[in-house]
Amino acid sequence: MEQLNQFLPFLLVFVVIYFFMIRPQQKKIKQEKEFEAGLKVGDKIITKSGFHGKIAELSEGTAVIETMSGKLKIERSAISLELTAAANKKA
C-alpha cells in the first residue's frame, strides 16, 4: 500500500501530461493530414511562408502552385490555408 502511495504522484503527472500535451498534439497532426489529403487541383492556397497561389499539380508529397511570378514546387506540408473553401463559406 505504501508503494502505491509513492507512485501515485508520478502516475498523476503522466496522466496530466497525456491529456494536456500528447493528446492535443496527436489530434492536430491528424487534422493536418486530413487537410493535406483534401487538397485538389485548382484550390487557391497560402503557404506557411506566405506565398499565395493556385494548385496546378498534385503528387504524393508535393504540389506545384501557380503564382504571379511563375510556378513553384513545394511540399504539401508547407500549405497552411486553403482559400477556396473559405471564400465559398462567406458567399
φ and ψ at 61, to 5 degrees?
-120, 0
**Is the pLDDT reported for residue 91 higher than 60?**
no
pLDDT tens-digit series, residues 59-86: 999 999 999 999 999 999 999 988 876 6
The residue-averaged pLDDT of 31-43 equals 91
- What is the distance between the alpha carbons of residues 8 and 32, in angstroms, rounded to a whole number? 35
The residue-averaged pLDDT of 11-36 equals 92
Instruction: pLDDT band for 87, please (50, 70, 90 cuts).
Output: low
Question: So what's the pLDDT on residue 88?
Answer: 64
Class of domain 40-91: mainly beta
